[in-house]
């Protein structure tokens, strides 16, 4: 387990404990990045059941690194007493000098909800002591640390925020599934309340990250850059969705068009799919628009991109309806393969696949869905096997790649769904082997 490359870093620093606040898709692998480098981590979360599972060495989070699962690293850290998951902030305060916060700002009906992040900040304000660092790593509405969190800390803590207690912001830029690798290799943007805060945050992050650190002129600059990074993907994906519509209407294969365009060294088109999901990209526009509202500004291109991506599940249903010559949804059985928000993931937050199923149910269709990585109890339309999902389907809709059907031949798929009239493959999962007349539609 010991990573010998890190021993020189360990020697340069006092090996000290950190607290990671919020043990979700980011906070847990981040914790493991510290523990596998021999730093003790106190993991804080408000979710009691989640903490109990972590104490037992159980996680559903999918991260593989150097041939091991996240659960392997979790169990190893627990055995070596390097990871203490708890709900108790006061317990953490006795052991750590730095808190890294990975609690997000959900968007609900277009508006940011700060409750969880502010609640974590209030708990921290009660326990921080002189010499401590609070380092926010969540994705923020620009200005959140300066305008909301620092005033909150100042209103509760008896200490001078910025002087006694350092505060900094360094957005997390990793992608789920590659987090353990990218915590070490992705450049860090870092802005502090003052230079002392910045230096303190750099020291704490250097323990796991060897890439370049870029100091920003303000915390708000780092907050804005992070959201802009996310929103550019939203816009790029919306653009390829539109290009895909043109390709479909003119009889061209979208994947070929994109592959060929990308042979140009300065072109990098992304891959269109069943929509854009997850916690990060769909929220980005709303974070920026919320800030833009404060200065009376519209962001029409970003807004249109968001609407375009939100509409993709409906556009897919229109194509199916049209291809089958107008269908009675109430008399049609749909099998949806894939519920996670992206390929090979188990994260079904803000997932276009789930939106698609909900839209089908709204139209009165009968739907079964299967995703081998998303726990079946998450959705009452989920079934536990591929066969149970496909059995009596009239239409099969494949939204994301999972190993179970990735590169499956069309005829193999259809053997499991003898009454199927159409397959819609939104992710180039299925290979057309020419052994069936059933239509295969693609994005
Ligand atoms: N998931 C990603 O791929 C990704 C990538 C980069 C950045 N981010 C950002 O990182 C942040 C976290 O994302 P995530 O995907 O890990 O979210 P998540 O929902 O998986 O995890 C957040 C955790 O915080 C906990 N929590 C809520 N309130 C708390 C409190 N008061 N004290 C302690 N814990 C509390 C929740 O129980 C949950 O376990 C978000 O801002 C997100 O935008 C996520």
**Based on the domain organization, do 125 and 251 belong to the same domain?**
no
Number of CB atoms found within 10 A of residue 120's CB: 24
**To test the ligand 1 pocket, which listed residue (279, 348, 351) has its Cβ within 8 A of the most ligand atoms?**
279
Q: Same domain, yes or no, for 163 and 64?
A: yes
Which of 194, 216, 238 terminates a domain? The answer is: 216
Residue 32 shares a structural domain with residue 138: yes
Number of domains in the chain: 3
Q: Are 318 and 351 contained in the same domain?
A: yes
Same domain, 175 and 268: no
User: What does each C-alpha distance from 149 to 65, 66, 136, 284 come to in angstroms?
Assistant: 34, 37, 10, 20
412 and 292 assigned to the same domain: no
Identify whether 221 is part of a domain: no
Domain holding 425: CATH number? 3.40.50.720
Same-domain check for residues 79 and 189? yes
Is the same domain home to 375 and 275? no
pTM of the model: 0.92
Residues 387 and 283 in one domain: no
Judge if 250 and 321 occupy the same domain: no
CATH, residue 260: 1.10.1040.10
As a whole number of angstroms, the distance between CA 172 and CA 342 comes to 19
**Strands annotated E in 79-132:** 83-86, 96-101, 107-108, 111-112
Q: Which of 164, 198, 216 is the last residue of a domain?
A: 216
Rounded Cα distance between 202 and 168, Å, is 9
pLDDT score of 357: 98
Q: What is the 3-state secondary structure (H, E, C) of 368-381?
A: EEECCCCCHHHCCC
CB neighbours (10 Å) of residue 265? 6
Question: Are 209 and 263 in the same domain?
Answer: no
* Beta-bridge partner residues of 83: 41
Q: Rounded to the nearest whole angstrom, what is the distance from the C-alpha of residue 102 to the centroid of ligand 1?
A: 5
Nearest CA to ligand 1 atom 37: 47
Q: Mean pLDDT, consecutive 10-residue segments, the chain of 443 residues? A: 39 65 97 97 98 97 94 98 98 96 96 98 98 98 98 98 98 95 97 98 97 98 98 97 95 96 97 92 97 97 97 95 96 98 93 97 98 96 97 97 97 97 97 95 94
pLDDT of residue 279: 85
Q: Is 33 in the pocket of ligand 1 (CB under 6 A)?
A: no
Measured CA to CA, the distance from residue 90 to residue 92 in angstroms comes to 5
Distinct helix (H) and strand (E) counts, the chain: 17, 17
Strands (DSSP E) found in 241-355: 333-337
What is each CA distance from 14 to 10, 38, 196, 321, in whole angstroms?
7, 11, 18, 64
Q: What range defines the domain where residue 436 resides?
A: 312-442
Residues 302 and 317 occupy one common structural domain:
no
């Amino acid at each position: 387990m010991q990573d010998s490359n890190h021993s020189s870093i360990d020697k340069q620093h006092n090996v000290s404990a950190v607290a990671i606040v919020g043990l979700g898709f980011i906070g847990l692998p981040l914790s493991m990045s510290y523990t596998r480098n021999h730093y003790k981590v106190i993991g804080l979360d408000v979710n009691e059941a989640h903490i109990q599972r972590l104490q037992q060495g159980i996680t559903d989070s999918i991260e593989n690194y150097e041939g091991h699962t996240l659960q392997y690293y979790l169990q190893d850290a627990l055995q070596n007493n390097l990871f203490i998951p708890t709900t108790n902030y006061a317990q953490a305060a006795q052991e750590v000098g730095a808190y890294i916060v990975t609690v997000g700002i959900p968007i609900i009906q277009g508006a940011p909800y700060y409750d969880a992040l502010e609640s974590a900040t209030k708990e921290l304000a009660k326990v921080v002591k002189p010499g401590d660092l609070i380092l926010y790593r969540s994705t923020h509405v620009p200005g959140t640390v300066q305008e909301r969190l620092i005033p909150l800390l100042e209103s509760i803590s008896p200490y001078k925020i910025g002087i006694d207690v350092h505060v900094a912001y360094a957005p997390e830029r990793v992608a789920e599934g590659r987090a353990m690798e990218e915590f070490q290799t992705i450049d860090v943007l870092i802005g502090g309340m003052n230079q002392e805060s910045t230096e303190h945050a750099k020291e704490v992050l250097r323990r796991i990250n060897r890439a370049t650190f870029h100091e920003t002129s303000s915390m708000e600059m780092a907050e804005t850059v992070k959201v802009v990074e996310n929103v550019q993907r939203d816009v790029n994906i919306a653009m390829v969705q539109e290009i895909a519509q043109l390709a479909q209407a003119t009889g061209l294969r979208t994947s070929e068009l994109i592959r060929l365009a990308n042979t140009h060294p300065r072109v990098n088109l992304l891959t269109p799919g069943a929509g854009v999901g997850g916690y990060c990209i769909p929220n980005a526009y709303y974070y920026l628009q919320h800030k833009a509202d404060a200065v009376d500004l519209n962001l029409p291109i970003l807004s249109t991109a968001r609407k375009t991506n939100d509409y993709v599940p409906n556009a897919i249903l229109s194509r199916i309806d049209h291809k089958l010559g107008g269908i009675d949804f109430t008399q049609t059985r749909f099998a949806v393969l894939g519920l996670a928000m992206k390929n090979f993931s188990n994260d079904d937050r803000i997932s276009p696949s789930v939106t698609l199923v909900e839209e089908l149910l709204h139209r009165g269709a009968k739907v079964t869905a299967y995703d081998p990585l998303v726990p079946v109890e998450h959705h009452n339309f989920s079934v536990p096997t591929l066969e149970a999902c496909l059995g009596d389907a009239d239409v099969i809709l494949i939204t994301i790649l999972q190993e179970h059907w990735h590169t499956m031949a069309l005829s193999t798929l259809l053997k499991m769904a003898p009454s199927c009239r159409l397959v819609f493959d939104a992710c180039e999962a299925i290979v057309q082997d020419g052994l069936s007349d059933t239509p295969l539609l693609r994005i």
